[in-house]
A and B are shown apart, each in its own frame.
Chain A
Amino acid sequence: MFKIRLLIASSLLFFLGDSRAVDDSGKAAPKEPKTLSVFPLGGQRGTTIEVSVRGQHMEGTYAAWFERDGVEVRFLGLEEIREAAPDELVVRDPQAKQTELAGHRARLQFRIGEDARVGLHRFRVVTPRGMSNALNFQVVSDPVVLERDAEGQQAVQAPVVIAGTTQTNGELDLYSFQAEEGEQFHFQTFTSFPIYIPYSAEAELNLYAPTGSWFDPDRLLRLPWESRPLSWVPVLQSRRQGWGAQFAVFPMPTHRFKKAGRYLVSMGSFLGEGNPDFVYLLRISTEPPDSSTIMGQPAHPDPADWLERDSGAYAQHGAFHQPLESDRLKVLAARSVGPASGTGAAEGEAESPHEAARDRVVSQLKEQEPNDSKGPEVPTAVLLEGTIDPPGDVDSYRFRAKAEEGLVFEVETPKAAPPQFNPWIRVWNPEGEEVFNNIHFEYGGDGDDVSKSTERKTVFTFQKDGIYRLQIRDLTSRRGGSDLAYRLMIRPTIPHVGRVEYVLGVKGRRLGPTTDRVNLEPGQSKTFTVVCDMEEGFEGGVAVSAENLPSGVRVLPATPAPYTDSLLLGAYYFPMGLESGNIGDITRFRPVRKGVTMAFVADADATATGMPQLVRLWAQPMSGDRTGARLPLGQVPIMMLATGQSAAAAEGKKEYEQ
């Protein structure tokens, strides 16, 4: 899956409202540098290009910094720009209100290595007042051409990636290309359109044939896309705003041309917004995107990104694609505490049932049709592979469960995923009564919001012995096909630490960061919150540690952040109404969450680093007197500033007080 979005934009949102973060001393902090966009948004491997970064408060910029290797950068210069915000730029979300546009443009040279990984490379500009928010730069393998504003219809040759800008509201950029009879084309966009509100700023592609018409010889005929119109795509973590994922309209459309000729594709935003920071990449190719060409994926995936749940409310999107392998029990055990992963059981101590479960062998079985009504009996440590095909297909299995036995049902959809394929798992007891399914609903918001979701993972404790019947199908009763493939694992429960994440600051009641970096002056502190999911009955704790801290910076425990309780519910929905709609234990669908607030504290004599550096955070499961293996928690960019760089911002303080 691909998402037509860029990290920049959500970061932008975080800073649009109030860039004057208040540090823990309560003083008004100076304005940190803020970047809005980079143009072009991407470049081809093995090329050297000049880019411009627009932003505000970038005075004194002297460098740019990529978090990982692959792109070398050289600072070329900085110029001031003045642009009034257009009248149309009135945003409903006051936090996103933008009163003035970019104040600076930094010119940078990017040398993209031949072996740079395709994907998003995060970088920041560096000023005496610290580093900016991160922007993403997409490295691609296809040739990149720049949009030429002067041309009404710019001719391009596929395969190509076009880097452009939707400069003004209502702007449509048209590109023409040659297609041969029967040729299938694949289109893909990646944008930095700011997400002011959930459904705005979707990139929109439209395809046309220059047929002309009786009324107008220049008339274009809009052609239908052949791909499904809506697709849910994960939003990169730095773009999340509490809404969780978003979905794209025609995210990667395709079209097979019946006739040879020149055709046009238009690029614009769905609701017609535009400004100089609406930058985009558009890929046109006869080859479908693959791992070497797809855009919008991190070039360096975060090892801390553990996906275990997947629902709208829980905002761990993308988990349905998470591979399930036969070593699943061991992988989960490694996130727990036990002999294999930690200090080991005490001598003479009996192995726990969970530890025994961990060592079970997971069978792998492929479905055998017909299995619509009465399927084969399968063990309770099994990975079932099947396909919902033909349309309307239903696959059944049976398994034996004991009273008080807890089993976990996890499903992977390696091809189509929700909302195109929504695996619906239902289980009946020997008496033919449905005992549970993987649809969860909960109430929230102000009481009239209801979330109802198909869940990737369901935990269930059986009440009595017997042979149970399991059925898997698509939510719809008519879909089917080879892309509706599933891998369903039935396994014993393994108590373990699930997702662990940190958040810099807490915005309202949401688990949404207020910033994505830490710029510290000597004597300052910045808090962060760590939230851990305790899965399948894990009752221990988690120890947090940090590595690669700048000299003079320490990590200390702090008083809990506000709204910690609501954060621990782990939901988009707020605590005033959160309530499970399912009968039974909410842990069937939700982990228990625990959190801790900590702080980066800079000593008064801490020295400036000049450039940011990544602090690695670790989480270590604990239970009783045993500990488990260290789990990656994330990396925090930190920069120590020289004394006075921030405190001297008297004008900023005055402005803040006004």
Chain B
Amino acid sequence: MSAAAEFELRNLRVRNGTKEILRGVDLTLQRGETHALMGPNGSGKSTLANVIMGHPDYEVTGGDILFRGRSLLGLAPEERARLGVFLAFQYPVAVPGVSVARFLKAAVEAVRGKSTGGAGGFLKGVREQMKFLEITEAFLDRGLNEGFSGGEKKRLEILQMLLLKPALGVLDETDSGLDIDALRIVAEGVNRLRGPDLTLLVITHYERLLKLIEPDHLHVLMNGRIVFSGGPEAVKKLEEHGYDWIREQVGAEAG
């Protein structure tokens, strides 16, 4: 047997209030792999992303989330982040009064567990990544996500990923609300980090992102379960035929 997978969901069941949203999800990501997770609205994709990060609103009622063989379930969100788990939020929240520069420094120091030194040296590295993502420097002094457009917020999420260098990146519909140019920039940002040390779970509605960030595997989530898993060739099939053929395959059970 090989060593433990980099990331694994085992029969994961999750509830929000009285509603069961994930009804036994199994997923295994080997180190360095990129997996795409697709599915129609309401299938539980965002719940999955939030549960991986430890959002307090969701209750895990069964199964496990394993990162390098270790269960994340008892860990606070900040502990998961420090282990190398990163969630690029679908809707990054605005935090007026906390500047982008200050936030980035606090986040990097928290995740690395040590000071980044003076602001000057730290910001030099930040500026280089900002330039790559075509984010203007003026953003550093603005309130975090305050008055940012959808595209600006998503770019800032990717900037954070580039700075925090996670082992596991979960992108929750990072492509939603982006025009073609912004999509390209975001994808290039993600690809910049790809390699044997980054395992990625890319959650999306649309195939267009998967042409820019090519996955090794593709999964379809419906009604709280993985109903299809396949290779990258499935992206094209989904694009041409939508989810209906999967619905037919899994029958009435997937609703």
Do these two chains really belong together in a complex? no
Interface of B toward A, CB cutoff 8 Å:
none
